[in-house]
Structure 1
Amino acid sequence: MPAPCGQGIGLAAARRFAAEGARLFITGRREDALKEAAATIDGEVTAVRVDSADLADLDRLYATIGEQGLRIDVLWANAGGGSFATLDQVTEQHFDEIFGTNVRGTLFTVQKALPLLNDGASVILTGSTAATVGTEAFGVYGASKAAIRSFARTWANELKGRGIRVNTISPGPIDTPGITGLAAGDEEAVELKRTLAGTVPLGRMGRPDEVADVGVFLASGHSSFVTGIEMFVDGGANQV
């Protein structure tokens, strides 16, 4: 199972799948963080430094898998990121960085995996509730995640002949280092988390392992009749 991993949801997913006995290939852009992540995973794991927006890196990843005579049962395209900018503040760099990783990276991560995907495989895409709520100053990120939702619908149709299921997990406020990174400092991070928790009917932010558990479900035979969906893991924030 290849999955972008370094921290937060990606790392939680890798640990959860390892616990299920999966052979893992994990990816990330930062070599140091990737090695640290791999060292915390109890199982058979290979770490490959990959920038998902770099097609040569993706080619190298899948060559590494293919050269070992392996194929892919589960592909989780999780790489992503974002930052705040209102419409009047958006720059080319802001747009290109977010769409490069979130949209271009996801597209080519899945496309280049096709020759190695087993028939009946499960493809999981990481979306976001930001795609539907219109959060102020988060428009480019939200639009990038709306594209992910659209990809899942289209690819579920395009790959149905091979029995490959494609689904989106859309987390709400999850307590990850990425959330902390959106804040300017520790005090602002605490306030941001308090604000986000206040939007959730369950009264708290989610945990990365709660997203990982849903990923295991979508990867397993328990979801054999589930494809093309968007599964919200948001504590009810977008639902009630």
Structure 2
Amino acid sequence: MNQLDNKVAVITGGSSGIGLATARRFVEEGAVVYVTGRREEELAAAASKAGAIAVPGDVSDPADLDRLYDTVRSDGRRIDVLVTNVGTGGAARLEDVTDELIDRIFDVNVKGTLKTVQKALPLLNDGASIVLVGSVSGSTSAPGFSVYGASKAAVRSFARGWANELKGRNIRVNTVAPGTTDTPGIGAGADADTRRAFMANLEARVPLGRWGRPEEQADAILFLASDQSSYITGFELVVDGGATQLGPFV
């Protein structure tokens, strides 16, 4: 406990799922946590539950990012931990990929991640930790997910490049790559039976035989955010129940 005592953290995409679980975990560890997200009411409710500070905004909008960091600055604080958790997805086979799909995914996952970190630089303390939330899709392949996978591969590349660029300030940059994780966005809009069937199909491909929980991803993010990983930078921590390393269980 208290691994983040007297630390200030910013988490994007804190309304639900991995972002909310991470906010809760960080607060438990003693951090002051700012969370951001597009859905203002949902964000406010989540922040209240987690004990975090809500700053509504869209990472693909530079003005919203400015407002986020202006809030931290006006509170007289600087940033020790930055978690870029916001992401969006979408599926289309190669022949069906549209400019709209490319722009929507890359504006959030790639440009949004870059701008989130770039605009935070003046507020980041030397020795800070940046954790980029990627995906196993950045290094694996599935039909229809080439655009999403490419965006997450870019996030993985960012971690390598920025770890080198920021080493002079002793700022560490790492990536967490979640596998199948039970978050509200999975199967959104589907009925309960369809969602259960979808989850069962993917569970069969995970050696541990189940989906991950947001809290398990949050624990991995905490590890990379805290001094427990003080000698780790430019690294990708894959949290997927063994699927990437071991392959399909059945």
* Inter-partner Cα distance in structure 2 for 1:48 and 1:86: 36
* Inter-partner Cα distance in structure 1 for 2:104 and 2:45: 25
Equivalent position SS for 2:23: helix
Q: 1:188 aligns with which of 194, 198, 201?
A: 194
Matching of residue 235 in structure 1 with residue 241 in structure 2: yes
CA drift of 1:113 comes to 0.2
Q: Which residue number in structure 1 is paired with residue 49 of structure 2?
A: 40
Equivalences for residues 213-232 of structure 1 within 5 A: 213-232=219-238
Equivalent position SS for 1:74: strand
Q: 1:65 aligns with which of 58, 61, 72?
A: 72
Matching of residue 20 in structure 1 with residue 26 in structure 2: no
Contiguous gaps of at least 5 residues in structure 1: none
Query: Alpha-carbon deviations, 1:43-76, whole Å to 9, x = none?
Result: 3x21011100101110111111111110000000
* Inter-partner Cα distance in structure 2 for 1:138 and 1:222: 34
- The aligned length equals 237
Q: Which residue number in structure 2 is paired with residue 3 of structure 1?
A: 11
* Inter-partner Cα distance in structure 1 for 2:185 and 2:152: 16
* Inter-partner Cα distance in structure 1 for 2:140 and 2:157: 16
Equivalent position SS for 2:11: strand
Matching of residue 212 in structure 1 with residue 221 in structure 2: no
Letter of the 1:143 counterpart: A
CA drift of 1:184 comes to 4.0
Letter of the 1:204 counterpart: R
Matching of residue 161 in structure 1 with residue 182 in structure 2: no
* Inter-partner Cα distance in structure 1 for 2:27 and 2:110: 27
* Inter-partner Cα distance in structure 2 for 1:30 and 1:198: 33
* Inter-partner Cα distance in structure 2 for 1:195 and 1:6: 27
Equivalences for residues 36-185 of structure 1 within 5 A: 36-41=45-50, 43=51, 45-181=52-188, 184-185=190-191
Letter of the 1:80 counterpart: G
CA drift of 1:187 comes to 2.6
Query: Normalized against structure 1, the TM-score is what?
Result: 0.96
* Inter-partner Cα distance in structure 1 for 2:109 and 2:191: 25
Equivalent position SS for 2:209: coil
Equivalent position SS for 1:231: strand
Query: Alpha-carbon deviations, 1:163-203, whole Å to 9, x = none?
Result: 0000000000001111122x643332112111111111000
Query: Alpha-carbon deviations, 1:213-235, whole Å to 9, x = none?
Result: 01111111110000000000000
* Inter-partner Cα distance in structure 1 for 2:178 and 2:171: 23
Q: Calculate the aligned-residue CA RMSD, in Å.
A: 1.0
Contiguous gaps of at least 5 residues in structure 2: 1-8
Percent identity over paired residues: 56
